[in-house]
DNA sequence: CTTTCATTTCAACAACGATTGAAATATCAT
DNA sequence: ATGATATTTCAATCGTTGTTGAAATGAAAG
């Protein structure tokens, strides 16, 4: 994960529709959801949903696989991990004050 | 940290100049750096630098304090921690696959 | 092979973000 | 006060991103 990839990932996270899509996909887990269901979940038109899903897939954050007539999207958790890691180490140089939030923070709440 | 604040933070991270500024400020640590030094560090005009610093300060990512003629900027590490935490828990629901990157990942590399 | 369903692509337009250079503000020294 | 330094603000411009609805693609069913 280089700076450019990371920036693209952050850009993907800075839009309401895309953030909602990610949350819906996280909730769905590895099984994923099809485009139509996602459009419903985030109350967006098919075209708008497709546009944003394509943007997210471009960053590697999510994957897409065709299943008959539908296209199933799912979170790539490994890739999401890379993004968090980038933010912690590459970007913030493993600042001690930041590592705390991880040690006792996210995991335990 | 709510969704809107988080999105603003991610937007702040999705621009080369701002990412460079953050990295420079992380390197500088709690002492921070003045606007001029930051402009030099990231090879940007004063006006451009000021514009982006204001955007970053708006998100709470950095703080600014006047010291005589200069304005010193510094990373708010607690706030950065909140951003990481948001990404891990609020956004990704503490997905097990993600927590790994934190447990053995960022801290040890 | 036509119809139906699911999704994407496209073109047009509106909204937003970034860059530039010049002018304004703030602080200190003479 | 005047001048010098540090930084911000402003208006103009430009490129990028988001939205819309209509048309195109792809896959299955009759």
CB atoms within 10 A of CB B54: 11
Q: For chains A and B, what is the number of CB pairs under 8 angstroms?
A: 145
CB contact (8 A) between residue A78 and residue B84 = no
Q: How far is the CA of A94 from the C1' of D16 (A)?
A: 33
Q: What is the C-alpha to C-alpha distance for residues B13 and B20, in angstroms, rounded to an integer?
A: 9
Q: What is the pTM of this model?
A: 0.93
Please give the average per-residue pLDDT across B59-66, as a whole number.
98
Q: What is the C-alpha to C-alpha distance for residues A61 and A68, in angstroms, rounded to an integer?
A: 23
Residue B104 pLDDT class (50, 70, 90 cuts): low
CB contact (8 A) between residue B95 and residue A14 = no
CA distances from A20 to A25, A87, A96, B22, B71 (A): 9, 21, 31, 27, 38
Q: Cβ distance B1 to B90 under 8 Å?
A: yes
Q: What is the C-alpha to C-alpha distance for residues A42 and A75, in angstroms, rounded to an integer?
A: 16
Query: What are A38-76's pLDDT values in tens digits?
Result: 999 999 999 999 999 999 999 999 999 999 999 999 999
Q: Which residue has the tokens 């450019």?
A: A4
Q: What is the C-alpha to C-alpha distance for residues A3 and B59, in angstroms, rounded to an integer?
A: 20
Helix (H, G, I), strand (E, B) or coil at A67: strand
Q: What is the pLDDT of residue B106?
A: 46
Q: Which residue has the higher pLDDT, A97 or B64?
A: B64
B32 DSSP 8-state letter? -
Residue B6 with chain A: CB contacts under 8 Å: 13, 19
Q: What is the pLDDT of residue A105?
A: 47
Q: Which residue has the tokens 């934190």?
A: B102
Cβ-7 Å neighbors of strand C: A 34-37, 39, 46-47, 49-51, 53-54, 64, 69-71; B 11, 15-18, 44-45, 47-48, 51-52, 55, 66, 68-69
For residue A103, give how far its alpha carbon lies from the nearest alpha carbon of chain B (Å): 7
Q: What is the C-alpha to C-alpha distance for residues A96 and B29, in angstroms, rounded to an integer?
A: 11
Query: What are B15-50's pLDDT values in tens digits?
Result: 999 999 999 999 999 999 999 999 999 999 999 999
Residues 6+ apart with CB under 8 A from B96: none
Q: What is the C-alpha to C-alpha distance for residues B101 and A77, in angstroms, rounded to an integer?
A: 10
For residue B28, give how far its alpha carbon lies from the nearest alpha carbon of chain A (Å): 11
């Amino acid at each position: 994960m280089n700076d450019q990839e990371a920036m693209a990932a952050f850009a993907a996270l800075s839009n309401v529709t895309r953030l909602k899509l990610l949350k819906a996909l996280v909730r769905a887990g590895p099984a994923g959801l099809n485009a139509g269901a996602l459009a419903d979940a985030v109350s967006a038109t098919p075209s708008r949903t497709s546009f944003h899903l394509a943007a997210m897939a471009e960053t590697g954050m999510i994957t897409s696989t065709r299943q008959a007539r539908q296209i199933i999207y799912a979170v790539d958790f490994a890739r999401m991990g890379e993004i968090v890691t980038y933010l912690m180490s590459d970007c913030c140089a493993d600042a001690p004050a930041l590592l705390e939030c991880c040690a006792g923070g996210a995991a335990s709440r």
